[in-house]
């Protein structure tokens, strides 16, 4: 088990591609070249989508948005280990994982532009809509995975949250229940070093977040969160174990949020430029690109083409989202219950009439 | 038909529905081998085993949080919280997720979850064991709030709650758990959610209540009838979404209304009912709507509970007031 070698109690961290591009050959997984390239292209696409969303917010075209820049590896690495029927239960900063698992860009831009319709993911996409109250999705993931287990399906559930989320009751109660019920759940803590302004050192006195799993009776491992391969390898072991009935795993993905908490935040108030510069040098896209180039899977031409394609797709899909018709009055009533109760039918009629009399809206 | 008390009727409803539908699971603290602190789940663990009757850690928020996940992935969880006063741990999950996931996902996902919990005072209990905060839940769009009054009602409404595609808060009156026995249909039996029940016809005044108040209202009605007042009694059964029509039709006929609840007065469901009567039956009213409720104070411990708890005499006096207005 990897967590024996990379014991979180000793503060050890799994890394395969070093910051300088050197590869630990002993731990390097043999992944299909096509898969590796698609993963990198998805990271490029997510980076472009993220930057676009921030720009659109600055232009007043969409609402508050939580940037993902710097966390692309942290999001996609674990998801590479999932099979087609596995679930992802995200928080609100999982853009790259969502794109990888088939959530269309249009949906994502629609949602961030302020329309719930973006959350109506296509059939077969086994991702639940983003959850904003920090950590609340963790117990959901335990329940989703319990249901799969009860039916005897070999399906696992992966949930994402942040270092801040690890202080919430939902984290502790969720991991505790998962340990007791031995559910096939993989907990991905994206430790991006800050919960808005609060640094990781003030979030918990534990040496690592990964070690918290030990208290709940299952393995935890800290992984370099900017290293796609290390994340994949840790997650693959966890996914295989969960699928085989071995229960949950906590993976602490040690990464950094290069952007603000949301577009309403100003990270310069609580962290300094030197730190940012240090982490910018560890950009997960650069590291993965160097790895692919060294393997002969990538080059300058592919990079240019891929970046161009990502930009035009993002422009296209975000424009579609902005051009999308806004919800109608009926739409805000329609999904409160499966069948609209008579009281709500009456309120809808009243609102309709009242708005008509107002002559606007 | 079998004679049952309410606890037995609830256990029977769970057993019937679990046998019929393999996606129904029961989870909560002590619901398994112990059969629940009130024995409502007695025998289920033996019949359906530990994977469908899940003894959980002491973790209310997570019981509901995990139930939400189960419900999103094809199960129909029935979560038991031991007392309504401990359900506040679960409010975040109920309000932020159970109630909203259908809306959040534009109908792609639903949360067919039942949160069962005993509620109410009049049982000489510890602090936090006598709460009646149904109005908290009724304020939340996306939740349904159901309160049975008798064993038969409990069975029929609970099976409907389990089959309901949306989350239902199912409040069981602790005081009535073993108070009444009545004949209950065996096997599959449902009572629709969202329909009030006319308990008794009358001409002069409509008394509206639910749950633990119903037998007390019936006592009060006997007293009023002895004085020559004809009382119509409505058991609301579903607090949300409310069956306004049954209430309005009755008040239009009688011209007088008394609303009874054991919860505090301000912001209680009585205020909502009174407002709806005002909106829809004002010109039929011969007297202002009376509310018989607890005062806006914390539920006292047993020694002071008699001041707080609604009794038949208080309801009877309210009936007399609306009759002589």
**Based on the domain organization, do A117 and A136 belong to the same domain?**
yes
Q: What's the first-to-final CA gap in chain A, in angstroms?
A: 60
In chain B, which ranges are continuous DSSP H helix? 6-20, 44-48, 60-72, 91-93, 101-104, 134-138, 151-163, 213-226, 244-254, 269-281, 305-308, 312-323
| Preferred mutation among B25, B65, B75, B145 to probe A, highest tally of A CBs within 10 A | B65
Tell me what the mean pLDDT of segment B41-60 comes to: 98
**Based on the domain organization, do A184 and A217 belong to the same domain?**
yes
Task: Kindly tell me if the per-residue pLDDT of A45 is higher than 90.
Answer: yes
Smallest CA–CA distance from A340 into chain B, residue:
B241
Listed in order, the ranges of chain B carrying CATH 3.40.50.920 are 197-323
Distance from CA of A176 to the nearest CA of B (A): 8
Provide the ipTM: 0.97
Tens digit of pLDDT for each residue in A168-194?
A: 999 999 999 999 999 999 999 999 999
Where in the sequence numbering do the catalytic residues of B fall? 129
Tell me what the mean pLDDT of segment B158-182 comes to: 97
Q: What's the first-to-final CA gap in chain B, in angstroms?
A: 45
Q: Which residues of B touch A342 (CB under 8 A)?
A: 194, 241, 244-245
**Based on the domain organization, do A49 and A59 belong to the same domain?**
yes
Q: How far apart are CA A57 and CA A51, in angstroms?
A: 10
Is residue A256 among the annotated active site residues?
A: no
Check CB contact under 8 Å for B52 and A150.
yes
Task: Kindly tell me if the per-residue pLDDT of B161 is higher than 80.
Answer: yes
Task: Give pLDDT, residue B263.
Answer: 97
Window 206-245 of A: residues touching B by CB (8 A cutoff) are none
Tell me what the mean pLDDT of segment A297-326 comes to: 98
pTM of the model: 0.97
Residue in the structure block whose two tokens are 């109760």: A341
Mean pLDDT of the residues in chain B: 97
Tens digit of pLDDT for each residue in A121-154?
A: 999 999 999 999 999 999 999 999 999 999 999 9
Task: Give pLDDT, residue A361.
Answer: 47
Task: Give pLDDT, residue B277.
Answer: 98
Q: Which two tokens mark A206?
A: 């534990």
Mean pLDDT of the residues in chain A: 97
Window 250-269 of B: residues touching A by CB (8 A cutoff) are none
Tell me what the mean pLDDT of segment B48-58 comes to: 98
**Based on the domain organization, do A195 and A338 belong to the same domain?**
no
- Chain A contact present for B15, CB below 8 A: no
Q: Is B77 helix (H, G, I), strand (E, B) or coil?
A: strand
**Based on the domain organization, do A343 and A237 belong to the same domain?**
no
Going from the C-alpha of B2 to that of each of B151, B188, B197, the distances in angstroms are 11, 13, 22
Tell me what the mean pLDDT of segment A287-295 comes to: 96
Tens digit of pLDDT for each residue in B69-108?
A: 999 999 999 999 999 999 999 999 999 999 999 999 999 9
CB atoms within 10 A of CB A271: 16
Return the CATH fold of B197-323: Rossmann fold (3.40.50)
Distance from CA of B70 to the nearest CA of A (A): 4
Q: CATH number of the domain at B2-184, please?
A: 3.40.50.970
Q: Which of B191, B179, B223, B182 is nearest to B205 (CA)?
A: B223
Domain of A347 in residue numbering reads as 328-361
Tens digit of pLDDT for each residue in B244-257?
A: 999 999 999 999 99
Listed in order, the ranges of chain B carrying CATH 3.40.50.970 are 2-184
Tens digit of pLDDT for each residue in A27-40?
A: 999 999 999 999 99
Task: Give pLDDT, residue B23.
Answer: 98
Tell me how many domains chain A contains.
Answer: 2
Task: Give pLDDT, residue A201.
Answer: 96
Check CB contact under 8 Å for A150 and B144.
no
**Based on the domain organization, do A253 and A361 belong to the same domain?**
no
Distance from CA of A144 to the nearest CA of B (A): 4
Sign of the CA dihedral running B282, B283, B288, B294: negative
In A185-328, which ranges are continuous DSSP H helix? 200-203, 212-215, 228-243, 273-280, 284-294, 300-323
Task: Give pLDDT, residue A44.
Answer: 98
Check CB contact under 8 Å for B68 and A341.
no
Check CB contact under 8 Å for B57 and A174.
no
**Based on the domain organization, do A318 and A333 belong to the same domain?**
no
Task: Kindly tell me if the per-residue pLDDT of B42 is higher than 50.
Answer: yes
Q: Which CATH number does the domain housing residue A140 bear?
A: 3.40.50.970
Smallest CA–CA distance from B276 into chain A, residue:
A343
Task: Give pLDDT, residue A19.
Answer: 86
């Amino acid at each position: 088990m990897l967590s024996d070698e990379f014991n979180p109690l000793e503060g050890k961290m799994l890394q395969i591609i070093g910051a300088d591009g050197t590869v630990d050959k002993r731990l390097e997984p043999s992944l299909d070249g096509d898969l590796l390239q698609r993963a990198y292209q998805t990271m490029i696409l997510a980076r472009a989508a993220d930057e676009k969303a921030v720009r659109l917010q600055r232009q007043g075209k969409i609402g508050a948005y939580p940037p993902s820049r710097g966390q692309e590896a942290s999001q996609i690495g674990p998801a590479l280990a999932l099979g087609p029927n596995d679930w992802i239960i995200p928080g609100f900063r999982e853009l790259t994982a969502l794109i990888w698992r088939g959530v269309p860009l249009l949906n994502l831009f629609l949602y961030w532009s302020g329309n719930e319709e973006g959350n109506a993911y296509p059939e077969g996409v086994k991702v639940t809509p983003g959850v904003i109250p920090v950590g609340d999705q963790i117990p959901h993931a335990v329940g989703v995975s319990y249901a799969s287990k009860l039916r005897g399906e070999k399906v696992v559930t992966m949930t994402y949250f942040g270092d801040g989320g690890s202080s919430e009751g939902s984290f502790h109660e969720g991991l505790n229940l998962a340990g007791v019920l031995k559910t096939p759940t993989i907990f991905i803590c994206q430790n991006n070093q800050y919960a808005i302004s609060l640094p990781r050192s003030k979030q918990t006195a534990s040496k690592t977040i990964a070690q918290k799993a030990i208290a709940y009776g299952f393995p935890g491992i800290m992984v370099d969160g900017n290293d796609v391969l290390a994340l994949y390898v840790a997650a693959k072991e966890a996914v295989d174990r969960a699928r085989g009935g071995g229960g949950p795993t906590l993976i602490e993905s040690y990464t950094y949020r290069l952007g603000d908490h949301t577009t309403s935040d100003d990270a310069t108030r609580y962290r300094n430029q030197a730190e940012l510069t240090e982490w910018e040098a560890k950009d997960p896209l650069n590291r993965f690109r160097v790895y692919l180039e060294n393997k002969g899977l990538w080059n300058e031409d592919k990079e240019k083409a891929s970046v161009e394609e990502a930009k035009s797709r993002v422009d296209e899909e975000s424009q579609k989202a902005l051009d999308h018709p806004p919800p109608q009055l009926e739409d805000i009533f329609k999904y409160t219950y499966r069948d609209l109760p008579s009281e709500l039918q009456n309120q809808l009629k009243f609102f309709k009439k009242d708005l008509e009399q107002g002559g606007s809206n | 038909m079998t004679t049952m008390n309410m606890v037995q009727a609830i256990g029977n409803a769970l057993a019937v529905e679990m046998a019929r539908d393999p996606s129904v699971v029961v989870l909560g603290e002590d619901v398994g081998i112990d059969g629940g602190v009130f024995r409502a789940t007695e025998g289920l663990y033996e019949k359906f085993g530990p994977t469908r009757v899940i003894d959980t850690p002491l973790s209310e928020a997570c019981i509901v949080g995990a139930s939400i996940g189960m419900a999103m992935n094809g199960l129909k969880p029935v979560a038991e919280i031991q007392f309504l006063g401990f359900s506040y741990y679960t409010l975040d999950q109920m309000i932020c997720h159970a109630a909203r996931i259908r809306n959040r996902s534009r109908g792609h996902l639903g949360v067919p979850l039942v949160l069962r919990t005993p509620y109410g005072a009049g049982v000489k209990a510890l602090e936090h064991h006598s709460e009646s905060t149904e109005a908290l839940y009724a304020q939340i769009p996306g939740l349904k709030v159901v309160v049975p009054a008798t064993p038969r009602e409990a069975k029929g409404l609970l099976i409907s709650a389990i089959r309901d595609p949306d989350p239902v808060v199912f409040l069981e009156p602790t005081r009535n758990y073993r108070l009444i026995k009545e004949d209950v249909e065996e096997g599959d039996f449902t009572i629709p959610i969202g329909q009030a029940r006319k308990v008794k016809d009358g001409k002069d005044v409509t008394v509206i209540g639910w749950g633990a108040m119903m037998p007390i209202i019936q006592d009060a009605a006997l007293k009023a009838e002895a004085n020559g007042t004809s009382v119509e009694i409505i058991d609301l059964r579903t607090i949300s979404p409310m069956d306004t029509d049954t209430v309005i039709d009755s008040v239009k006929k009688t011209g007088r209304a008394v609303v009874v609840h054991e919860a505090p007065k301000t912001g209680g469901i009585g205020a909502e009912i009174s407002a709806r009567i005002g909106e829809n039956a004002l010109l039929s009213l011969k007297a202002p709507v009376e509310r018989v409720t607890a005062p806006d104070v914390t539920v006292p411990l047993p020694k002071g509970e008699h001041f707080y708890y609604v009794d038949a005499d208080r309801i009877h006096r309210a009936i007399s007031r609306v009759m002589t207005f």
